[in-house]
Amino acid sequence: MAKYTIGLDYGSDSVRSLIVNVETGEELASVVFEYPRWKRGEYCDAPNNQFRQHPFDYLEGLEYTIVEALKQAPEGVAENVVGISVDTTGSTPVAVDEKGTPLALTPGFEENPNAMFVLWKDHTAVKEAAEINELAKKSDIDFTKYEGGIYSSEWFWAKLLHVTREDAGVYRAAYSWVEHCDWIPAVLTGDTNPKTLKRSRCAAGHKAMWHEAFGGLPSEEFLTQLDPMLSGLKDRLFKETYTCDVAAGTLSEEWAKKLGLSTNVVIGVGAFDAHLGAVGAQIEPYHLSKVMGTSTCDMLIAPLEEVGDKLVSGICGQVDGSIVPGMLGLEAGQSAFGDIYAWFRRLLEWPMQNILADSDLIDEATKKKLIDETSGKIIAKLSQEAENIPIAESGIVALDWMNGRRTPDANQALKGAIMGLNLGSDAPRIFRALVEATAFGSKAINDRFISEGIRIDGVIALGGVAKKSKLVMQIVADVLDMPIKVARSEQACALGTAMAAAVAAGVYENLGEAQAKMGGGFEMEYHPIPENVEKYKALYEKYNKLGKFIEFDLN
């Protein structure tokens, strides 16, 4: 009988379960669950960069998507599922009690955002990140050295320190802290004890300053110097970390009953969505894998012996085994990519949402239908019009720091900008400048790797933007002056997670074997257009000048 694994992919807005045949890579069934509380905007305060998610959204999505996917799958599949692995956004940590239960699931904290998961794009901890960086540079050991040398407000310690300081109730109740990608496997195995659940290497190494050279996490001395409120917390966290090919345990009786699966199903150690997306897109050494969605995460793997002691500054870390076990995993990314296009769409939607919605001339059902249909066409129409605008014709240059800058040189306090507007600047021209800005942000990442001695032999793209927008992909190829291959799978992250599950379950010895058997290949390739490459070189210089002005002259 054929064997199957399930890739459970937690994104920013929804969770997806994908059932995959481990011998052929055939994707049998896929079900998506949108987080209902998140969709209603609960527990978030966007103007103040607060983005929190309730654990109920995750648990409800976990059960619904797997049960419904198994219903869609052919008869006999459920009995032959051998493994489940999980990917999530990150760093997305939560305060937990001694049993490992998120505080939002305990009495008195049900509606408290500080007791919930702090989503990756929450930037409330800018001050705390700055303090970590200042102390690290003064210390005998720079605990940020494997994190690119700059700690970000998007990451583990900054977030937990901010919540600890802000909320005395959460501080008193929190026994430990757990990443989302570690908590879901712990729930499935029934071992949520913060001291015994298996922690992800990629989450710990890239976001929590864990490294073998330090013997694990930063020292107690460093943490208490940062804030005495952190005293003793290190002992309630972890020392060991595990790569995604390791089994976290097997499915508990409780969850086996809920899901209709066997307790023999192996649960793999969790990892971040972008990392397993790179696996699903068949990442190979020195090929930059770009997950292009609301933000971007750019991963690169290289043989450990070739990189040696080289440290790449200004990236999101370099960790042994974080993406593919046995390889050095290097991560970079942009804090906003598709989110910038979505922001511009919302800007253009304002009259519909605030004027047309109040109109008495048409009934409510017609208004809703009209608003929804028009909103859904905005990006497609903008892209169509922008495609016909010559490069640099508008004179508009934009900066893609609407959500701060992740790489190179993390600085979440930075803001975006649009320069060169005049009375002829229309929506398609501004939109094209925003697309170009996101492409220039991608080039800045490539340039940093190359200038630090890490070559890039090719680019692999995956994610919603890569699959949907020819305009964006061609502009990125032109700006990078490199061909870009687009992964065939619609769900590369979930597919990569299913591959990891196959290795954890013992079907394959390593991820390379799983990729060879289960990989979907590539559906198309974008090639740079020589005349566009030259024009974008000049425009990129203007982008860099604008960036320097915004970052230095206005601060």
Partners of 88 in the β-ladder: 272
The stretches of 452-485 forming alpha helices (DSSP H) are 464-468, 470-480
Q: What is the mean pLDDT of each run of 10 residues along the chain (555 residues)?
A: 96 96 97 97 94 98 98 96 97 98 98 97 95 97 95 96 98 98 98 97 97 96 98 97 98 98 98 96 96 93 94 95 96 95 95 82 83 91 97 96 93 94 97 98 97 96 94 98 95 96 98 96 96 97 96 75
Task: State the CATH number of the domain containing residue 476.
Answer: 3.30.420.40
- Tell whether 83 and 178 lie within a shared domain: yes
Domain that holds residue 213: 4-284+488-512
- Tell whether 149 and 58 lie within a shared domain: yes
- Tell whether 118 and 170 lie within a shared domain: yes
- Tell whether 533 and 494 lie within a shared domain: no
- Tell whether 165 and 212 lie within a shared domain: yes
What is d(CA 267, CA 477) in angstroms, rounded to the nearest whole number? 38
User: Would residue 351 count as lying in a domain?
Assistant: yes
Q: Which residue has the tokens 């040398």?
A: 149
- Measure CA 268 to chain center: 19
Amino acid 501: pLDDT: 98
Q: Considering its fold, how many domains does the chain have in total?
A: 2
User: Would residue 192 count as lying in a domain?
Assistant: yes
Q: Which of 305, 306, 312, 309 is nearest to 331 (CA)?
A: 312
Cα 540 to Cα 155, 197, 428, 550, distances in angstroms: 29, 47, 20, 15
User: Would residue 329 count as lying in a domain?
Assistant: no
- Tell whether 433 and 499 lie within a shared domain: no
Reported as half-sphere exposure (CB side, CA atoms, 13 A), residue 293 has a value of 19
User: Would residue 323 count as lying in a domain?
Assistant: no
Amino acid 554: pLDDT: 65
- Tell whether 437 and 493 lie within a shared domain: no
- Tell whether 113 and 234 lie within a shared domain: yes
User: Would residue 328 count as lying in a domain?
Assistant: no
Q: Which residue has the tokens 């990729």?
A: 515
User: Would residue 385 count as lying in a domain?
Assistant: yes
- Tell whether 14 and 47 lie within a shared domain: yes
Task: For residue 475, give every residue at least 6 positions away whose Cβ sits within 8 Å of its Cβ, in sequence order, or none.
Answer: 435, 436, 439
Amino acid 318: pLDDT: 96
Backbone angles phi, psi at 491, to 5 degrees: -130, 65
- Tell whether 36 and 110 lie within a shared domain: yes
Amino acid 555: pLDDT: 58
- Tell whether 345 and 377 lie within a shared domain: yes
Task: For residue 515, give every residue at least 6 positions away whose Cβ sits within 8 Å of its Cβ, in sequence order, or none.
Answer: 279, 282, 499
What is d(CA 157, CA 164) in angstroms, rounded to the nearest whole number? 10
- Tell whether 418 and 492 lie within a shared domain: no
Residue 144 CB coordination number (10 Å): 22
What is d(CA 115, CA 105) in angstroms, rounded to the nearest whole number? 8
Contact 59, 34 (CB under 8 A): no
Q: Which of 458, 462, 463, 474 is nearest to 526 (CA)?
A: 474
